């Protein structure tokens, strides 16, 4: 079947067209339409009541917090929020859905016409349209494994029934698997910043289906699409899209037609499979949910919710790049989570030079963490320690070489910077005449560089500072050394 046979030339003839549907569980304390706890990992069938078990006569009552979270998410992805949206019944029969329908929204969803910007490989940004965000409830879970009689029986856990979801549907604006990965990464980041979901993919809080088709480059019409379901990591999304794009091109190249269908991703085998035709022949027979009134989002509620929007990651990065004069790549590191960005900024505010805090954090601490394959939370050096180190550096009380040595000790012994600094208080050479003697020696040994400096290449001063610092074993007071080097070279 796929696709090693396809040459790059053949692949290049086609353009993939991708749209993503993302389901996120909202982080409410209780479920969407009843008072049951909305909690992952409870004993099976303990967070249930007549409403979410669909017992006759039980009626749903909408959770206001779920509306607030869905509205907040809508605003964060630049959607227009509809003042009056309608809940609808989506009918289908499945063992984990005791009602026989899911409460969802259909032709009048909560929000429409949004977008998010994603970075592209060439350093630009691309705007991906968002068709809609609608509210719905989750179904329960069928347990096919883990029991003695699993070969012949399926068990049901209905704890998840009625968990509030937001479904976010993108426009078919995505053109590569990498772009899909970026879109999901940015979307997840926005939702996490808003605090509306924990987006934990292992626990199913964020799930993705991908619609993908291919067409000849330059063609106006979209090709026939397949929907790939069951994608529970971004890596799987990317891998399944890569597979599916090549599969469809191969089908077309061999003279066949792509069939519109749902397909399942099998991560172990690295391929997609067609689902049974019965599964795909859905007619959901949507109609307005008679047990719920229209959802009214008043201008006041909308305004109140808008006030709860945090500074979103992209805006925060732009501000931090300007404020701390850091590179875009570093801004991404610092804003990886809202909590980390908050901690950094709170610390930087109290430092002599916030930019230096960023540099120490990213290069000295970040570099060591990366080398040791550790996460930020596993760093022995606290944010307080980083600020102290940056301040000492800024005041010239330690040299950057001494800072590196102290951080080496921190990471070797698993100790924070203030403790290590207190104990090891590095010696500093502040005797001007001793430093001058060393400068004289370096100047005498490097006549060519002196000539360059005096011919106008002022950046050469850094060379002399570096050489003297090395000669002093990193102990020369940096501020004094700088001053004396300039004096000598000018003299």
The binding site for Zn ion (CB under 5 A) comprises 34, 36, 49, 51-52
Q: Which is nearer to Zn ion, 37 or 276 (CB)?
A: 37
From the CB of 98, what's the least distance to Zn ion, in Å?
11
3-state SS, residue 43:
coil
> What is the C-alpha separation between 315 and 325, in angstroms, rounded?
15
Nearest alpha-carbon partner for 28 in 165, 201, 202: 165
Q: Which is nearer to Zn ion, 43 or 145 (CB)?
A: 43
CA distances from 127 to 116, 120, 179, 279 (A): 6, 10, 11, 34
> What is the C-alpha separation between 258 and 270, in angstroms, rounded?
20
Residues in the chain: 491
Q: Which is nearer to Zn ion, 34 or 237 (CB)?
A: 34
Q: What is the separation, in whole angstroms, between the first and last Cα of the chain? A: 77
From the CB of 294, what's the least distance to Zn ion, in Å?
23
Tokens 């968990």, residue located: 163
Q: Which is nearer to Zn ion, 36 or 168 (CB)?
A: 36
Q: Which is nearer to Zn ion, 160 or 488 (CB)?
A: 160
> What is the C-alpha separation between 256 and 223, in angstroms, rounded?
13
From the CB of 29, what's the least distance to Zn ion, in Å?
13
Q: Which is nearer to Zn ion, 10 or 53 (CB)?
A: 53
CB atoms within 10 A of CB 249: 21
Q: Which is nearer to Zn ion, 158 or 398 (CB)?
A: 158
3-state SS, residue 113:
strand
From the CB of 142, what's the least distance to Zn ion, in Å?
19
> What is the C-alpha separation between 452 and 443, in angstroms, rounded?
12
Which residue pairs, CB below 8 angstroms and at least 24 apart, start in 440-448? Answer: 440/488, 441/471, 442/467, 442/468, 442/471, 443/488, 443/489
Cα 300–chain centre separation: 31
Instruction: Specify whether the CB–CB gap between 192 and 199 falls below 8 A.
Output: yes
> What is the C-alpha separation between 355 and 360, in angstroms, rounded?
9
From the CB of 100, what's the least distance to Zn ion, in Å?
17
Q: Which is nearer to Zn ion, 163 or 230 (CB)?
A: 163
Q: Which is nearer to Zn ion, 54 or 264 (CB)?
A: 54
From the CB of 61, what's the least distance to Zn ion, in Å?
10
Nearest alpha-carbon partner for 433 in 474, 488, 470: 488
The token duo for 6 is 């396809």
CB atoms within 10 A of CB 487: 12
The token duo for 127 is 């705007």
From the CB of 40, what's the least distance to Zn ion, in Å?
15
Instruction: Specify whether the CB–CB gap between 118 and 179 falls below 8 A.
Output: yes
From the CB of 106, what's the least distance to Zn ion, in Å?
23
Q: Which is nearer to Zn ion, 47 or 399 (CB)?
A: 47
From the CB of 54, what's the least distance to Zn ion, in Å?
10
> What is the C-alpha separation between 402 and 358, in angstroms, rounded?
18
Q: Which is nearer to Zn ion, 34 or 116 (CB)?
A: 34
From the CB of 191, what's the least distance to Zn ion, in Å?
24
From the CB of 166, what's the least distance to Zn ion, in Å?
19
């Amino acid at each position: 079947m796929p696709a090693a046979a396809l040459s790059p030339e053949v692949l290049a003839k086609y353009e993939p067209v991708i749209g993503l549907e993302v389901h996120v569980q909202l982080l409410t304390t209780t479920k969407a339409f009843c008072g049951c706890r909305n909690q992952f990992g409870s004993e099976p069938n303990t967070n249930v009541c007549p409403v979410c078990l669909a017992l006759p006569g039980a009626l749903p009552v909408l959770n206001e917090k779920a509306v607030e979270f869905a509205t907040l998410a809508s605003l964060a992805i630049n959607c227009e929020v509809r003042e009056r949206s309608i809940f609808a019944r989506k009918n289908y029969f499945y063992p984990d859905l005791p009602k026989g329908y899911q409460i969802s929204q259909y032709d009048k969803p909560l929000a429409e016409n949004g977008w998010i910007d994603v970075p592209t490989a060439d350093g630009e940004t691309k705007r991906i349209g968002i068709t809609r965000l609608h509210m719905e409830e989750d179904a329960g879970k069928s347990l096919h494994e883990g029991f003695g009689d699993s070969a012949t029986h399926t068990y049901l856990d209905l704890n998840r029934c009625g968990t509030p979801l937001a479904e976010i549907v993108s426009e078919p604006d995505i053109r590569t698997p990498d772009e899909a990965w970026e879109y999901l990464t940015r979307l997840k980041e926005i939702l996490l910043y808003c605090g509306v979901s924990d987006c934990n993919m292992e626990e199913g809080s964020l799930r993705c289906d991908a619609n993908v088709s291919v067409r000849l480059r330059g063609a106006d019409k979209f090709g026939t699409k397949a929907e790939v379901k069951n994608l529970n990591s971004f890596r799987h999304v990317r891998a399944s899209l890569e597979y599916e794009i090549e599969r469809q091109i191969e089908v077309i190249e061999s003279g066949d037609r792509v069939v519109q269908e749902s397909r399942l991703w099998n991560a172990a085998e690295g391929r997609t499979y067609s689902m049974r035709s019965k599964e795909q022949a859905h007619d959901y027979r949507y109609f307005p949910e008679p047990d719920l009134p229209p959802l009214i989002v008043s201008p006041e509620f909308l305004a109140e919710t808008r006030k709860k929007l945090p500074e979103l990651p992209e805006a925060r990065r732009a501000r931090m790049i300007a404020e701390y004069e850091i590179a875009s790549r570093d801004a991404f590191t610092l804003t990886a989570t809202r909590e980390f960005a908050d901690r950094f900024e709170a610390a930087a505010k109290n430092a002599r030079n916030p930019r230096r805090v960023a540099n120490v954090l990213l290069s000295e601490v970040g570099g060591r963490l990366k080398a040791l394959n550790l996460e930020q939370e596993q760093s022995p050096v606290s944010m307080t320690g980083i600020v102290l180190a940056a301040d000492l550096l800024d005041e010239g009380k330690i040299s950057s070489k001494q800072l590196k040595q102290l951080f080496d000790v921190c990471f070797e012994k698993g100790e924070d910077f203030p403790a290590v600094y207190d104990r090891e208080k590095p010696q500093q050479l502040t005797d001007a005449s001793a430093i001058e003697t060393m400068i004289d020696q370096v100047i005498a040994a490097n006549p060519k560089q002196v000539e360059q400096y005096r011919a106008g290449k002022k950046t050469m001063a850094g060379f002399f500072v570096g050489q003297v610092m090395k000669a002093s074993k990193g102990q020369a007071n940096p501020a004094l050394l700088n001053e004396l080097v300039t004096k000598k070279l000018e003299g």
